[in-house]
Amino acid sequence: MTIDPKTIDSLAEYLESAELEAREVVKITDAHPQLTLDDGYAIQAAIRARKQARGHQVAGLKAGLTSRAKMKQMGVEVPVFGLLFDYMSIANGGEIRTGELIHPKVEAEIAFVLKAPLRGPGCHVGAVLAATDFVVPAVEIIDSRYENFRFDLVSVVADNTSSSRFVVGSVARGIEGMDLRTLGMVMEKNGEVVAMAAGAAVLGHPAEAIAQLANHLAARGEEIPAGSYIMSGGATEAIPVAAGDSIQVRFQDLGSVSMRFV
Protein backbone atom coordinates (compact mmCIF):
# COMPACT_ATOMS: atom_id res chain seq x y z
CA MET A 1 0.00 0.00 0.00
CA THR A 2 1.48 3.34 -1.01
CA ILE A 3 -1.39 5.63 -0.03
CA ASP A 4 -3.21 6.49 3.17
CA PRO A 5 -6.75 5.33 3.99
CA LYS A 6 -8.13 8.84 3.44
CA THR A 7 -6.90 8.91 -0.15
CA ILE A 8 -8.35 5.43 -0.74
CA ASP A 9 -11.74 6.63 0.49
CA SER A 10 -11.66 9.82 -1.56
CA LEU A 11 -10.73 7.91 -4.75
CA ALA A 12 -13.55 5.42 -4.03
CA GLU A 13 -15.97 8.32 -3.73
CA TYR A 14 -14.58 9.91 -6.92
CA LEU A 15 -15.15 6.73 -8.92
CA GLU A 16 -18.42 5.64 -7.35
CA SER A 17 -20.07 9.03 -7.82
CA ALA A 18 -18.91 9.01 -11.45
CA GLU A 19 -20.72 5.66 -11.80
CA LEU A 20 -23.90 6.79 -10.05
CA GLU A 21 -24.04 10.09 -11.94
CA ALA A 22 -23.05 8.50 -15.29
CA ARG A 23 -20.23 10.99 -15.69
CA GLU A 24 -16.79 10.21 -17.11
CA VAL A 25 -13.71 11.21 -15.13
CA VAL A 26 -9.96 11.49 -15.56
CA LYS A 27 -8.19 8.25 -14.66
CA ILE A 28 -6.87 8.15 -11.12
CA THR A 29 -3.26 7.37 -12.00
CA ASP A 30 -2.93 10.77 -13.72
CA ALA A 31 -3.01 12.48 -10.30
CA HIS A 32 -1.61 9.49 -8.37
CA PRO A 33 1.03 7.80 -10.54
CA GLN A 34 2.46 5.95 -7.53
CA LEU A 35 -0.66 3.79 -7.02
CA THR A 36 -0.02 0.04 -6.95
CA LEU A 37 -2.27 -2.86 -7.94
CA ASP A 38 -2.96 -3.51 -4.24
CA ASP A 39 -4.06 0.11 -3.89
CA GLY A 40 -6.42 -0.45 -6.82
CA TYR A 41 -8.03 -3.43 -5.07
CA ALA A 42 -8.20 -1.43 -1.80
CA ILE A 43 -10.13 1.33 -3.64
CA GLN A 44 -12.46 -1.32 -5.13
CA ALA A 45 -13.06 -2.70 -1.61
CA ALA A 46 -13.88 0.82 -0.40
CA ILE A 47 -16.46 1.12 -3.21
CA ARG A 48 -17.97 -2.18 -2.02
CA ALA A 49 -18.15 -0.82 1.55
CA ARG A 50 -19.90 2.35 0.32
CA LYS A 51 -22.53 0.32 -1.56
CA GLN A 52 -23.07 -2.10 1.31
CA ALA A 53 -23.50 0.82 3.72
CA ARG A 54 -26.39 1.93 1.48
CA GLY A 55 -27.96 -1.55 1.67
CA HIS A 56 -26.73 -3.02 -1.62
CA GLN A 57 -25.52 -6.60 -1.76
CA VAL A 58 -22.82 -8.35 -3.74
CA ALA A 59 -24.66 -10.44 -6.35
CA GLY A 60 -21.64 -12.07 -7.91
CA LEU A 61 -17.97 -11.93 -8.77
CA LYS A 62 -16.26 -11.46 -12.11
CA ALA A 63 -13.00 -11.96 -13.90
CA GLY A 64 -12.14 -9.64 -16.77
CA LEU A 65 -9.43 -9.16 -19.38
CA THR A 66 -9.22 -12.95 -19.60
CA SER A 67 -9.26 -13.29 -23.40
CA ARG A 68 -6.64 -12.17 -25.89
CA ALA A 69 -9.35 -10.21 -27.73
CA LYS A 70 -10.16 -8.19 -24.61
CA MET A 71 -6.53 -7.72 -23.57
CA LYS A 72 -5.65 -6.43 -27.02
CA GLN A 73 -8.68 -4.14 -27.17
CA MET A 74 -7.96 -2.52 -23.79
CA GLY A 75 -4.15 -2.64 -23.82
CA VAL A 76 -4.03 -4.37 -20.42
CA GLU A 77 -2.53 -7.86 -20.42
CA VAL A 78 -3.37 -9.02 -16.89
CA PRO A 79 -6.72 -10.52 -15.77
CA VAL A 80 -8.63 -8.40 -13.25
CA PHE A 81 -11.30 -9.27 -10.69
CA GLY A 82 -14.35 -7.28 -9.67
CA LEU A 83 -17.75 -7.30 -8.01
CA LEU A 84 -21.32 -7.42 -9.30
CA PHE A 85 -24.01 -5.77 -7.18
CA ASP A 86 -27.74 -6.53 -6.90
CA TYR A 87 -28.90 -3.41 -8.79
CA MET A 88 -26.72 -4.33 -11.80
CA SER A 89 -28.80 -7.43 -12.62
CA ILE A 90 -31.22 -7.07 -15.56
CA ALA A 91 -33.77 -9.75 -16.56
CA ASN A 92 -33.11 -11.68 -19.76
CA GLY A 93 -34.94 -9.88 -22.57
CA GLY A 94 -35.11 -6.72 -20.47
CA GLU A 95 -34.40 -3.06 -21.14
CA ILE A 96 -31.24 -1.23 -20.16
CA ARG A 97 -31.52 2.52 -19.74
CA THR A 98 -28.54 4.13 -21.45
CA GLY A 99 -29.25 7.41 -19.67
CA GLU A 100 -27.89 5.76 -16.52
CA LEU A 101 -24.65 4.78 -18.28
CA ILE A 102 -21.69 6.60 -19.87
CA HIS A 103 -20.46 4.61 -22.88
CA PRO A 104 -21.65 0.99 -22.45
CA LYS A 105 -20.21 -2.03 -24.25
CA VAL A 106 -21.44 -5.63 -24.20
CA GLU A 107 -19.55 -8.88 -23.73
CA ALA A 108 -20.57 -12.54 -24.13
CA GLU A 109 -19.49 -14.60 -21.13
CA ILE A 110 -19.89 -18.05 -19.60
CA ALA A 111 -20.84 -17.81 -15.93
CA PHE A 112 -20.34 -20.42 -13.23
CA VAL A 113 -22.42 -21.14 -10.12
CA LEU A 114 -20.60 -23.10 -7.43
CA LYS A 115 -21.93 -25.86 -5.19
CA ALA A 116 -18.80 -25.85 -3.00
CA PRO A 117 -16.39 -23.11 -1.93
CA LEU A 118 -13.11 -22.64 -3.81
CA ARG A 119 -9.97 -21.71 -1.98
CA GLY A 120 -6.51 -21.10 -3.39
CA PRO A 121 -3.58 -21.09 -3.62
CA GLY A 122 -3.14 -23.78 -6.22
CA CYS A 123 -6.73 -23.75 -7.42
CA HIS A 124 -6.93 -25.21 -10.95
CA VAL A 125 -9.43 -26.01 -13.70
CA GLY A 126 -10.15 -29.47 -12.26
CA ALA A 127 -10.97 -28.06 -8.83
CA VAL A 128 -13.27 -25.47 -10.41
CA LEU A 129 -15.12 -28.11 -12.46
CA ALA A 130 -15.54 -30.32 -9.37
CA ALA A 131 -17.02 -27.36 -7.45
CA THR A 132 -19.31 -26.20 -10.28
CA ASP A 133 -23.03 -26.69 -9.74
CA PHE A 134 -23.97 -25.44 -13.23
CA VAL A 135 -23.01 -22.93 -15.91
CA VAL A 136 -25.27 -20.24 -17.37
CA PRO A 137 -24.89 -17.98 -20.40
CA ALA A 138 -24.47 -14.30 -19.63
CA VAL A 139 -23.90 -10.88 -21.14
CA GLU A 140 -22.00 -8.26 -19.21
CA ILE A 141 -22.55 -4.57 -19.88
CA ILE A 142 -19.32 -2.81 -18.95
CA ASP A 143 -19.07 0.96 -18.61
CA SER A 144 -15.67 2.33 -17.66
CA ARG A 145 -15.98 5.53 -15.71
CA TYR A 146 -12.85 6.81 -17.45
CA GLU A 147 -12.74 9.23 -20.38
CA ASN A 148 -12.80 7.51 -23.77
CA PHE A 149 -12.96 4.09 -22.05
CA ARG A 150 -9.16 4.23 -21.66
CA PHE A 151 -7.33 3.09 -18.56
CA ASP A 152 -4.35 1.23 -17.10
CA LEU A 153 -4.40 -1.87 -14.89
CA VAL A 154 -4.51 -0.03 -11.54
CA SER A 155 -7.19 2.42 -12.69
CA VAL A 156 -9.55 -0.27 -14.03
CA VAL A 157 -9.21 -2.39 -10.89
CA ALA A 158 -10.04 0.64 -8.71
CA ASP A 159 -13.07 1.33 -10.95
CA ASN A 160 -14.47 -2.11 -10.03
CA THR A 161 -13.36 -3.43 -13.44
CA SER A 162 -15.97 -1.32 -15.28
CA SER A 163 -18.88 -3.36 -13.77
CA SER A 164 -22.20 -1.83 -14.72
CA ARG A 165 -25.01 -4.27 -15.63
CA PHE A 166 -25.33 -7.99 -16.40
CA VAL A 167 -27.98 -10.27 -17.91
CA VAL A 168 -28.16 -13.99 -17.16
CA GLY A 169 -29.80 -16.50 -19.52
CA SER A 170 -32.39 -18.98 -18.34
CA VAL A 171 -30.72 -22.25 -19.35
CA ALA A 172 -28.58 -23.67 -16.55
CA ARG A 173 -26.61 -26.84 -17.27
CA GLY A 174 -24.37 -29.11 -15.28
CA ILE A 175 -20.99 -29.44 -16.96
CA GLU A 176 -21.14 -33.24 -17.18
CA GLY A 177 -20.50 -34.15 -20.81
CA MET A 178 -19.96 -30.53 -21.85
CA ASP A 179 -16.68 -29.20 -23.23
CA LEU A 180 -16.63 -25.53 -22.29
CA ARG A 181 -13.58 -24.97 -24.52
CA THR A 182 -15.50 -25.66 -27.71
CA LEU A 183 -18.76 -24.02 -26.59
CA GLY A 184 -19.61 -21.45 -29.25
CA MET A 185 -21.05 -17.96 -28.75
CA VAL A 186 -22.43 -15.74 -31.51
CA MET A 187 -23.29 -12.11 -30.73
CA GLU A 188 -25.78 -10.22 -32.87
CA LYS A 189 -26.42 -6.49 -32.73
CA ASN A 190 -29.64 -5.43 -34.43
CA GLY A 191 -29.78 -8.81 -36.18
CA GLU A 192 -26.24 -8.72 -37.56
CA VAL A 193 -23.42 -10.92 -36.32
CA VAL A 194 -20.82 -8.64 -34.71
CA ALA A 195 -18.63 -11.06 -32.74
CA MET A 196 -18.15 -14.77 -32.13
CA ALA A 197 -15.91 -17.00 -30.07
CA ALA A 198 -15.52 -20.34 -28.35
CA GLY A 199 -14.98 -20.83 -24.62
CA ALA A 200 -11.27 -21.55 -25.06
CA ALA A 201 -10.78 -17.86 -25.95
CA VAL A 202 -10.88 -17.31 -22.17
CA LEU A 203 -7.50 -18.44 -20.84
CA GLY A 204 -7.71 -21.74 -22.74
CA HIS A 205 -10.70 -22.80 -20.59
CA PRO A 206 -13.19 -20.45 -18.91
CA ALA A 207 -12.83 -22.38 -15.63
CA GLU A 208 -9.22 -21.12 -15.55
CA ALA A 209 -10.58 -17.61 -14.93
CA ILE A 210 -12.46 -18.88 -11.87
CA ALA A 211 -9.32 -20.68 -10.63
CA GLN A 212 -7.31 -17.47 -10.99
CA LEU A 213 -9.98 -15.59 -9.03
CA ALA A 214 -9.74 -18.16 -6.21
CA ASN A 215 -5.95 -17.78 -6.18
CA HIS A 216 -6.25 -13.99 -6.20
CA LEU A 217 -8.63 -14.08 -3.20
CA ALA A 218 -6.41 -16.57 -1.36
CA ALA A 219 -3.63 -13.99 -1.33
CA ARG A 220 -6.08 -11.84 0.68
CA GLY A 221 -7.20 -14.65 3.00
CA GLU A 222 -10.55 -14.98 1.22
CA GLU A 223 -12.30 -17.77 -0.71
CA ILE A 224 -15.11 -17.98 -3.25
CA PRO A 225 -18.15 -19.06 -1.23
CA ALA A 226 -20.44 -21.94 -2.27
CA GLY A 227 -23.39 -20.65 -4.27
CA SER A 228 -21.41 -17.82 -5.84
CA TYR A 229 -22.27 -16.60 -9.33
CA ILE A 230 -19.05 -15.80 -11.21
CA MET A 231 -18.55 -14.41 -14.71
CA SER A 232 -15.43 -15.68 -16.48
CA GLY A 233 -14.79 -12.68 -18.76
CA GLY A 234 -15.65 -11.59 -22.29
CA ALA A 235 -14.63 -14.15 -24.90
CA THR A 236 -14.59 -11.60 -27.76
CA GLU A 237 -13.77 -7.91 -27.81
CA ALA A 238 -16.50 -5.75 -26.26
CA ILE A 239 -19.06 -4.17 -28.63
CA PRO A 240 -20.27 -0.57 -28.07
CA VAL A 241 -24.04 -0.08 -27.78
CA ALA A 242 -26.37 2.92 -27.74
CA ALA A 243 -30.07 3.61 -27.21
CA GLY A 244 -32.10 1.79 -29.87
CA ASP A 245 -29.76 -1.20 -30.12
CA SER A 246 -30.85 -4.81 -29.53
CA ILE A 247 -28.32 -7.43 -28.53
CA GLN A 248 -28.78 -11.16 -28.72
CA VAL A 249 -26.09 -13.71 -27.95
CA ARG A 250 -26.71 -17.34 -28.92
CA PHE A 251 -24.76 -19.84 -26.87
CA GLN A 252 -24.24 -23.41 -28.05
CA ASP A 253 -26.22 -25.74 -25.71
CA LEU A 254 -27.18 -22.84 -23.40
CA GLY A 255 -29.87 -20.91 -25.23
CA SER A 256 -29.67 -17.20 -25.79
CA VAL A 257 -29.39 -13.96 -23.83
CA SER A 258 -30.91 -10.75 -25.10
CA MET A 259 -31.55 -7.15 -24.09
CA ARG A 260 -32.60 -3.83 -25.55
CA PHE A 261 -30.93 -0.50 -24.93
CA VAL A 262 -33.37 2.36 -24.50
Binding site for ligand OOG (CB under 6 A): 62, 64-66, 70, 74, 107, 140, 142, 144, 156, 161-162, 233-234
Q: Which is nearer to ligand OOG, 64 or 120 (CB)?
A: 64
Q: Which is nearer to ligand OOG, 119 or 144 (CB)?
A: 144
Give min distance, CB of 224 to ligand OOG, in A.
17
Q: Which does 70 bind (CB under 5 to 8 A by kind): Mg ion, ligand OOG, none?
A: ligand OOG
Residue count, binding to Mg ion (CB under 5 A): 4
Give min distance, CB of 185 to ligand OOG, in A.
13
Q: Which does 79 bind (CB under 5 to 8 A by kind): Mg ion, ligand OOG, none?
A: none
Q: Which is nearer to ligand OOG, 16 or 107 (CB)?
A: 107
Residue 252 near residue 184 (C-beta atoms within 8 A)? yes
> What one-character-per-residue DSSP string does 121-137 give?
SS--HHHHHHHEEEEEE
Question: What mask of x and - would describe binding to Mg ion in positions 225 to 254, judged by CB under 5 A?
Answer: ---------x--------------------
Q: Which is nearer to ligand OOG, 61 or 214 (CB)?
A: 61
Rule CB under 5 A: say whether 64 interacts with Mg ion: yes
CA distance 95 to 92: 9
Q: Which is nearer to Mg ion, 140 or 188 (CB)?
A: 140
CA distance 251 to 62: 19
Q: Which is nearer to ligand OOG, 11 or 119 (CB)?
A: 11
Residue 132 near residue 112 (C-beta atoms within 8 A)? yes
Contacts of 105 (CB under 8 A, 6+ apart): 141, 142, 143, 149, 238, 239, 240, 241
192 to each of 167, 227, 244, 255, how far by Cα in Å? 20, 35, 14, 18
Length of the chain: 262
Q: Which does 241 bind (CB under 5 to 8 A by kind): Mg ion, ligand OOG, none?
A: none
Type of residue numbered 48: R
110 to each of 20, 49, 90, 172, 209, how far by Cα in Å? 27, 27, 16, 11, 10
Binding positions for Mg ion, rule: CB under 5 A? 64, 107, 140, 234
